[in-house]
């Protein structure tokens, strides 16, 4: 299997879905528009909610995106585990009342096995426990043996996030092999690092009013989400999100400033990961017009930036250093996000002013 880089995989995904009639749209801002339920955009579907509910007409009934996302539910764990980060990009293909389960499943398989070249024998789908239709598509049309298709309950295979469009889902896991774990948690659907969930294909057909009352949406939709860096973890066969090429480049930059190398000292590694992750989040937040403050999104910005600065001190870096990390973020991500390049001076100013405080 070829070890594609993060920037290559993003393009491969968007090109593939364009070839299937999708309109590739630019990432929406991290700041939600007309949506009080979210502080920051946290999934590919979040900015598209009005298209799912039929409130607004989409530019096309098939759309694909690579969406900037920030999740801050577990800040204390960042840097300590393989899977936690605040900033990530979510690849997604969406159907607004256009295709449904069949095409969504076929194309996810085609992309993973034929375009990225993942070994089909290492891929395992799951379906919602009562979803015989999805089970049959995997089994009869895709030829996956029944014992390799897992039926999971609501917690794993019904996607919803507070109020809004939701539905049963089918997830695709990749078996990374025994070198990533052999414990009781290293089973399909388990918490271990061996089986990694790469893609979530949601059959979005209900609306939750936020109080657990479900009604049918006016149309059946598809909402899929695949973490770009997770896909890169699998494709590059590396231990964690932090080891993929783009994150590695950021950590190398911090290591050069701190005169240390990644993977030499566990404690320093945690600091390197935290700085890389947090500065990436802050760079993208600043580029979307968020400013550090004491509440809401601004507080998330301030908290992440201060944590990054503190970990710089722990690594023994003297003086202001975040600017250098911002430069590395712009260098690695500016190709796909030209706004980072255009607004680099402004972003650097906001971050340095806060660092000085
Ligand atoms: N909404 C689903 C998720 O966030 C699929 O995009 O996982």
**pLDDT tens, position by position, 31-54:** 999 888 899 999 999 999 999 999
Ligand 1 site, residue 92, Cβ cutoff 6 A: yes
Tell me the pLDDT of the chain averaged across its residues.
96
When pLDDT is averaged across residues 229-251 and rounded to a whole number, the result is 96
Ligand 1 site, residue 225, Cβ cutoff 6 A: yes
Q: Which atom of ligand 1 is nearest to the CA of 202?
A: 5
Check: CB of residue 35 under 8 Å from CB of residue 9. no
pLDDT of 101 higher than 80: yes
Check: CB of residue 253 under 8 Å from CB of residue 271. no
Rg (CA), the chain: 20
Render pLDDT for 257-298 as a digit per residue (tens, 0 to 9): 999 999 999 999 999 999 999 999 999 999 999 999 999 999
Task: Name the closest-CA residue to atom 2, ligand 1.
Answer: 225
Per-residue model confidence (pLDDT) at position 37:
85
Per-residue model confidence (pLDDT) at position 131:
97
Confidence of residue 116 (pLDDT cuts 50, 70, 90): very high
Give rounded-to-5 percent helix, strand, coil for the chain.
Answer: 45, 20, 35
pLDDT of 79 higher than 90: no
Residue 54 DSSP class: T
Confidence of residue 235 (pLDDT cuts 50, 70, 90): very high
**Three-state DSSP class for residue 348:** helix
Distance 204 CA to ligand 1 centre (A): 10
Report the alpha-carbon distance of residue 44 to residue 65 in Å, rounded: 7
pLDDT of 345 higher than 90: yes
Report the run of H or E that residue 226 belongs to, with start and end. Answer: strand 214-227
Residue 64: which of 111, 102, 119, 2 has the closest Cα? 111
Distance 254 CA to ligand 1 centre (A): 32
218: left (phi over 0), alpha (psi -120 to 50) or beta: alpha
Ligand 1 site, residue 45, Cβ cutoff 6 A: yes
Report the run of H or E that residue 8 belongs to, with start and end. Answer: helix 6-19
pTM of the complete model: 0.96
Per-residue model confidence (pLDDT) at position 142:
96
Report the alpha-carbon distance of residue 46 to residue 2 in Å, rounded: 32
CA dihedral sign of residues 132, 135, 141, 143 = negative
Q: Which atom of ligand 1 is nearest to the CA of 204?
A: 1
pLDDT of 82 higher than 80: no
C-beta neighbour count of 237 within 10 angstroms: 13
When pLDDT is averaged across residues 83-88 and rounded to a whole number, the result is 90
Residue 20's alpha-carbon distances to 16, 27, 210, 232, in angstroms, are 7, 19, 34, 22
Check: CB of residue 124 under 8 Å from CB of residue 196. no
Please give the structure tokens belonging to residue 135. 């089970």
When pLDDT is averaged across residues 180-209 and rounded to a whole number, the result is 94
Ligand 1 site, residue 166, Cβ cutoff 6 A: no
Residue 52: which of 165, 136, 143, 150 has the closest Cα? 165
Check: CB of residue 77 under 8 Å from CB of residue 84. yes
Check: CB of residue 1 under 8 Å from CB of residue 119. yes
When pLDDT is averaged across residues 101-110 and rounded to a whole number, the result is 98
Check: CB of residue 284 under 8 Å from CB of residue 31. no
Task: Name the closest-CA residue to atom 6, ligand 1.
Answer: 225
Residue 239: which of 188, 192, 190 has the closest Cα? 192
Please give the structure tokens belonging to residue 138. 């995997």
Distance 160 CA to ligand 1 centre (A): 8
Q: Which atom of ligand 1 is nearest to the CA of 46?
A: 1
């Amino acid at each position: 299997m070829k070890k594609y880089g993060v920037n290559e995989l993003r393009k491969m995904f968007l090109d593939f879905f364009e070839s299937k009639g999708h309109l590739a749209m630019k990432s929406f801002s991290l700041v939600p528009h007309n949506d009080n339920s979210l502080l920051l955009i946290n999934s590919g579907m979040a900015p598209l909610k009005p298209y799912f509910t039929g409130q607004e007409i989409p530019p096309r009934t098939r759309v694909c995106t690579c969406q900037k996302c920030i999740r801050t539910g577990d800040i204390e764990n960042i840097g300590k585990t393989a899977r936690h980060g605040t900033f990530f990009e979510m690849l997604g293909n969406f159907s607004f009342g256009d295709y449904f389960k069949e095409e969504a499943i076929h194309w996810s398989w085609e992309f993973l096995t034929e375009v990225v070249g993942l070994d089909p024998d290492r891929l395992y789908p799951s379906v919602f426990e009562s979803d015989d239709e999805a089970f049959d598509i995997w089994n009869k049309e895709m030829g996956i043996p029944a014992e390799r298709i897992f039926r999971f309950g609501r917690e794993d295979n019904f996607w919803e996030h507070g109020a809004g469009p939701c539905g049963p889902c089918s997830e695709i896991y990749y078996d990374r092999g025994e070198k990533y774990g052999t414990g009781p948690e290293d089973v399909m659907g388990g918490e271990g690092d061996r089986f990694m969930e790469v893609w979530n294909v949601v059959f979005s057909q209900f609306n939750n009013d936020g109080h657990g009352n479900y009604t049918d949406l006016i149309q059946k939709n598809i909402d899929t989400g695949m973490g770009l860096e997770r896909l890169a973890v699998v494709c590059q066969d590396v231990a964690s999100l932090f080891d993929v090429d783009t994150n590695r480049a950021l950590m190398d930059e911090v290591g050069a400033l701190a005169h240390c190398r990644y993977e030499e000292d566990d404690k320093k590694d945690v600091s390197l990961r935290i700085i890389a992750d947090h500065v990436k989040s802050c760079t993208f937040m600043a580029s979307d017009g968020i400013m550090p403050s004491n509440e809401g999104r601004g507080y998330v910005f301030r908290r992440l930036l201060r944590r990054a600065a503190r970990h710089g001190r722990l690594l023994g870096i003297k003086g202001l250093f975040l600017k250098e990390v911002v430069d590395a973020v712009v260098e690695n991500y500016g190709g796909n996000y030209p706004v980072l390049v255009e607004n680099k001076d402004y972003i650097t100013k906001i971050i340095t002013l806060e660092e000085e405080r």
